[in-house]
Structure 1
């Protein structure tokens, strides 16, 4: 528990200064590094011919979709002809069409679901120009959309900024400097960074083994900072060449947590101060940051509860082994690295699914039913900090829903951030909330109903259903981790998960910006003594309960058929 709370304490301490820095970048305010970064940004603007003209929400969406579409097309072409290009010392061939489609969709959507083995399926050129490049741009896209959304809620202007300028600023001023710093730390601990071909060595058993080489540290840094996930190697962060020791394990966890947490703090700074009538007619001022407190509190509560449940479940071990007379003093260590132990493995599992990164340092297929369910619920919620900016978007949808429900209960017109919440906004909010469970449950239902889906299930009963449910939850939440028990490199799984990744990424973004665009056009209303305050403990509790109730109504039946039934069978 000390290890767990040490990581959480460092995380909370880091996000406040980082959140203020991110706020300055989002609103174009002065920062200490402007003399250097202004020159870099202006050079990129001139090179790309970017006009920093302000955009409305429709223009912002079109610019985002067009840019992402062009990058996806370029990435697909490189994967299809990678065997003919340079930086291919290991002689890797071209990727087949279905797998190339799934791979490029996975990385453009910040999912990084891998149906291939990194060290044998990609050339170094593909790793750098497709995988790493899309890791930067997909993370920056999520952040840019989130900040444009918050600008719309704040209502200071009638435009949402410029997508191209937002994308470049977050890459040059946040992702690149932090990736360089984290990459150097990882290299200092033994993570590989070179362009050498794989090394063949003779083991102590007298056999031969290929040791993967390549730009591993560069990929590791941005994959965690950008909440991308995936891995240079098939074993991901369980491999010593990606994650050598407990220190790098903690660095990688904090890298995943830093920027999503900072987005919440930046939101608090971006929402303007306002004055209203408090109790007994006295003037009350709402300070910047107060609106973010309920959101941050609910996210932290869900994160801690998930971590405790996962750790407790894994420490309980496997009762079948105990009945067989095998002592499990360390709990369920199947599929875990001994250099990380139970706590670091359970905490990494919770962090990577709560922050929808998808990086793994143990085999999730070997988790206990409740341990796997804790990871699964994080992705089903998709708002426990979530990916870069996306978790904040999803949580604010629940905030709007909570405001609407509480407003109906007290008989007042719902208001949020001095804007009335009316029918149009609520329809869009309901649609934004429903899409996520629809993608997960519809995908799972299709997979267990047709032969092409059933052919990929390698485990019978409840565990097999959990594997399928996890695959689609990971795809819809743009997480990318998997139970790895599925035979998923087939046409059905590549196409179906690719479509779920696309819809899970872009539909929610479009709906969120449409809501912000609608609210942005409304005149602010004066706060009165009857206005529902959204910065109180009461509202925090209400928000938490709404999140839990909606999640239970949508996902509880599927969880009962999967991990809960497996747990009851195992412990019966």
Structure 2
């Protein structure tokens, strides 16, 4: 039954890829559609309010500047809200201000679509903070990722440095995609029992007669955009394992559906926008094969359990999992949330088997198995460019992608983006093991402790936000270190990709010839997967060997 549930869920996701992808193309095509009657007046009001000229276009440098300045201003506003929330309204439970390092970490986390939480939401944030400084940036960060991905796609097919308008892309993403979908999902979650209220905590009496304080708040609104926008930050500390966030198997299915809906559809939209659907399906196939492989590994690992459990006659690893969902839905959620770089969890990853825990780590390290809003597609296309370059060298031709020559400038920029990811993960991990206060935060020593620290920085670098939970991350060192990793992981790759888009946009298209290496074939799908896995293995395998792999081998000693 568990396997059937997984297959049915994936089939439904697959059926929605094309229609949702077509809708995304209509949103960002800038051509008049019937959608303008509904959303046009709202958007024009917003443009007038913020002083944006809707028809103004931007080159890649102007697009980058608009992205960075808007995100910086929002980052500062989030930080201020966290630091003074005690004195602001909508704080019925009297939550105190956040400490400076934690406020920086949280602001960086939510502006970058990471949603790493070194705090427990129900105890650390007022209702106003949950709405303004948590839910609001969940919309803008997801829209920012979408805007950058769409701008890059435009650069691939453009004939001049015109990537669109960042502010228009941002607004249209929110008004036409995230707000409508989030509203529908939030209503459904309320129907299923997720709280949505501004009243304070409720006092209740248990069956045994004891008094209990039950935290509540505007949970459904946050939960909807949390998954639609691949954000992942939970209202409660236990995230989607909490019955107020994820009360029923049906809400669990909706969460998974929302996690994968837009990342998968965007890959199809990419093929439509470049007028080469075969190319889109080629990239989709590579991502899909890797996802199914990782899902199979974690599914089998958790069902097999460990030798110690088997010796006790226990079949399967239920530690850290909700009995409402079981092993199959927990394994699926684990693979989906790290494939879509969301970070929402319905099971504690720290309690996965060593090989089961290797799966979310590997997906975040690759960071291109569908990925989060826009960023997953961007990282996938980075490896497409790298694959084209390597194949071009093999056959002695100047590499080409979609009729544009890939030259030294593009490869240098792609290399910067690709190498930044492991650098911001491995270097801070090594530093953490050299600092006594950082080592003291590790609750589990040995191989598992290595995995806990490595997971924390991998999650920050991949803008994922999930955690192994065996690490006390709310310290000045981890708050500052992971905060910086999240910022570098988000913006360096975005800047590099927009620079590549600007460079390709100004290049003359080259007609395909007999000697042109095609990138829309099953052969290229295999090549792309091999290069992604080889680069990932060469970069991260030594560290993985010290963590989950060594822990797995140690179980049989």
Same fold (TM over 0.5): yes
The answer to whether residue 304 in structure 2 is matched with residue 316 in structure 1 is yes
Counterpart of 2:147 (choices 144, 152, 175) is: 144
What runs of 5+ residues in structure 1 fail to find an aligned partner? 273-287
Distance apart, 1:157 and its partner CA? 4.3
Query: Separation in 1 of the partners of 2:75 and 2:432?
Result: 26
Distance apart, 1:271 and its partner CA? 0.5
Distance apart, 1:207 and its partner CA? 2.2
Counterpart of 1:372 in structure 2 is: 357
Equivalent residues of 1:463, 1:562 under 8 A apart: yes
The answer to whether residue 106 in structure 2 is matched with residue 103 in structure 1 is yes
Counterpart of 2:288 in structure 1 is: 300
Query: Separation in 1 of the partners of 2:199 and 2:464?
Result: 30
1:290 is paired with a residue of what secondary structure? helix
RMSD: 0.9
Counterpart of 2:161 in structure 1 is: 158
Distance apart, 1:24 and its partner CA? 1.4
Task: Give the paired residue count.
Answer: 554
Distance apart, 1:205 and its partner CA? 2.8
The answer to whether residue 484 in structure 2 is matched with residue 482 in structure 1 is no
Counterpart of 2:226 in structure 1 is: 223
Equivalent residues of 1:113, 1:480 under 8 A apart: yes
Query: Separation in 1 of the partners of 2:407 and 2:152?
Result: 18
Query: Within 5 A, what are the aligned runs for 1:440-451?
Result: 440-451=425-436
Counterpart of 2:411 in structure 1 is: 426
Query: What do the CA deviations read for 1:226-275 (whole angstroms, capped 9, x no partner)?
Result: 00001001111001110011111010011010111111111111113xxx
Equivalent residues of 1:21, 1:31 under 8 A apart: no
Query: Separation in 2 of the partners of 1:450 and 1:538?
Result: 47
Counterpart of 1:328 (choices 309, 314, 333) is: 314
Equivalent residues of 1:103, 1:114 under 8 A apart: yes
2:277 is paired with a residue of what secondary structure? coil
Query: Within 5 A, what are the aligned runs for 1:13-412?
Result: 13-52=15-54, 53-272=56-275, 288-323=276-311, 326-329=312-315, 331-412=316-397
Distance apart, 1:3 and its partner CA? 1.4
Query: Separation in 1 of the partners of 2:533 and 2:307?
Result: 30
Counterpart of 2:480 in structure 1 is: 495
Equivalent residues of 1:230, 1:480 under 8 A apart: yes
Counterpart of 2:525 in structure 1 is: 540
Query: Separation in 2 of the partners of 1:217 and 1:229?
Result: 13
Distance apart, 1:452 and its partner CA? 2.5
Q: Which moved more, 1:152-161 or 1:174-183?
A: 152-161
The answer to whether residue 471 in structure 2 is matched with residue 469 in structure 1 is no
Q: Output the TM-score relative to the length of structure 2.
A: 0.98
The answer to whether residue 553 in structure 2 is matched with residue 550 in structure 1 is no
Equivalent residues of 1:364, 1:484 under 8 A apart: yes
